[in-house]
Structure 1
């Protein structure tokens, strides 16, 4: 799901998604996430669901060699556990500790955009 060089170099394309409440329904862990009770959050991950239509969108992007990444305000360990548990494959993730400023500041999205442009 991480194509390199298969796309017209004049047409740089990639898709950036948020994780929680965009790709997946994790609302059941919202309060625990806000209070940073990560052990409780991790125990709830097997109950998370991918929103309807998301797998179809990800397959569509994959078949067209369009790289996909995640930008999330959550720590990397959480992001990786969620993606693994739900079988979601992305090229890379930009997580909480990857930027000085955090969403809604544009810095994490700009980091992802630059990585898509320079590496995919």
Structure 2
């Protein structure tokens, strides 16, 4: 299973960060169509799915945000765990563990892809491979310092890593 973070990993949500900070989710949804998907993300998700990987998104946003993108772009994502699905948010591993349970996955065969220190910490706590991605970051120093198992600067590099 491959579990993705959503914000700044699949979609550039920096434009609505002020709305996210005050939990104005209706405002975020009004702007959803304006938020750019990172180049190559759709192709990556399709290739991973075609190669037999089960895909999930675990996000600190409500699940309606990534579900809109899944529907809009036809992403083959099976499982979404959002803000309201867990009591403990990243860096706690609860969201990752819930996604793995829903997907019938085991930690030894699971990867988590994210852009923040909290993603690395959640992956470590869940016992899964921590993959850091920098394409949504201005400064990747903190992410690099968190020492994910792998780190990639482009969607293409991540795609190559998974052999897709």
- Tell me if both proteins adopt one fold, taking TM over 0.5 as the criterion: yes
- Tell me the residue number matched to 1:24: 11
| Residue ranges of structure 2 left out of the alignment (5+ in a row) | 106-164
Q: What is the root-mean-square deviation of aligned Cα atoms in Å?
A: 1.6
Aligned residues: 105
Higher relative contact order (CA 8 A, sep 6+): 1
| Residue ranges of structure 1 left out of the alignment (5+ in a row) | 1-13
Q: 1:115 aligns with which of 81, 86, 102?
A: 102
* 1:30-70 alpha-carbon deviations (Å, 9 max, x no partner): 11111112232111101111111212211211211211010
TM-score by length of 2: 0.59
- The offset of 1:82, in angstroms, is 3.3
Q: What is the CA–CA distance in structure 2 between the aligned matches of 1:97 and 1:76, rounded to whole Å? A: 8
Q: What is the CA–CA distance in structure 2 between the aligned matches of 1:63 and 1:82, rounded to whole Å? A: 19
- Residues 1:63 and 1:70: Cα distance change in structure 2 (over 3 Å): same
- Tell me the residue number matched to 1:81: 68
- Residues 1:38 and 1:72: Cα distance change in structure 2 (over 3 Å): same
TM-score by length of 1: 0.78
